[in-house]
Amino acid sequence: MDVSVHDRIDFVTKTFVYLAENVYLRSQMKITKNKYLLGFAVSVTLLAFVKMIFPSVAEPLQQQEAVAVQQNVDDAQIVLSSRSNVISRLSTKKKHRIRGVNNYREAFPDSQAVQIMAAEKWGVRPVKNREDAERRKKELVYVGSNPYYHVDPLYSSIPYLVPRAAVLLQDIGQAFYDSLYVKGVPFNQFIVTSVLRSESDVVKLRRRNGNATERSCHLFGTTFDICYNRYHPVTQPVRDDTLKWVLCEVLRDMREQGRCYIKYEVKQGCFHMTVR
């Protein structure tokens, strides 16, 4: 005759209650240390005896623990398998090709006449000198070197731009890093060589450089120059022409998105650009 687990537990409970009542009555309402130990020993002996007679009483709990352990093992195997697949896909992912542009002058033709209109539209009133720039910090944003680009020591300009131009410069730096990553090229920073120029800076520059214009776009804080024949290594040096091709792709995309005007400067060795 089969006995259910519930019936077995009920039997054990009633037996335990019976023994407890006997111990209580015999102790005459007084529980000493020896009597407590005796009652505990009797209870443990009884439970062991019941388990020997009905071993199936403990089976449901053991089965639940076994199922839980197996579930944890299965979950761990799924996680490890998923991570292995991700790592495998990343390691075998095909690197993007470096294409550059066909012609630098055709890709970046925006002249001074074009850029000055955007500079006057989006820029500030020309800064007289460095003291004037310090007084007008609310209109300008400081653009020192950061993780995405390097700023050369500035002798003919001041490290400030209007917020719109500062955001453009930051976006170019991030896009350049992203492009280097997907192409498998070690990280290098491009170099900013000129930003905001004061009126006194322009006067001094025109004495040394006859090609410098009096109505420079740099006066308005909307314009900056990025060198294309020097770079600042972060992980390891890379050929300048390789980095130039990658940078050209980024700048071409920015220009085509209507973010800026760009002029390829041959003599100065830089991209001269103004925010739109």
Which secondary-structure segment (H or E) carries 252?
A: helix 240-256
Beta bridge partners of 142: 160
Average pLDDT, the chain: 80
Name the 3-class secondary structure at 129.
Answer: coil
- Per the confidence metrics, is the pTM higher than 0.85? no
What would the pLDDT profile of 10-44 be if each residue is shown by its tens digit? 665 666 555 555 555 555 555 566 666 777 677 77
- The pair of three-digit structure tokens given for residue 261, joined into one six-digit string: 């005007």
Band the pLDDT of 261: cuts 50, 70, 90. Answer: very high
Per domain, the residue ranges of the chain are 5-53, 104-275
* Highest mean predicted confidence (pLDDT) among 19-23, 126-130, 200-204, 240-244: 240-244
Query: What Å distances lie between residue 252 and 220, 245, 247, 263, 266, CA to CA?
Result: 23, 11, 9, 11, 17
What would the pLDDT profile of 181-218 be if each residue is shown by its tens digit? 999 999 999 999 999 999 988 888 888 766 667 789 99
**Residues 105, 264: contact at Cβ < 8 Å?**
yes
pLDDT more than 90, % of the chain: 48
**Residues 219, 127: contact at Cβ < 8 Å?**
yes
Label the pairing between strands 270-275 and 223-233.
antiparallel
Confidence check: pLDDT of 170 > 90: yes
- The domain 104-275 is placed in CATH, from the list 3.40.91, 3.40.50, 3.30.1380, 1.10.287, at 3.30.1380
The dihedral built from the CA positions of residue 77, 82, 83 and 89, taken in this order, carries a sign that is positive
The pLDDT of 122-133, averaged and rounded, is 89
- Res 100: pLDDT: 81
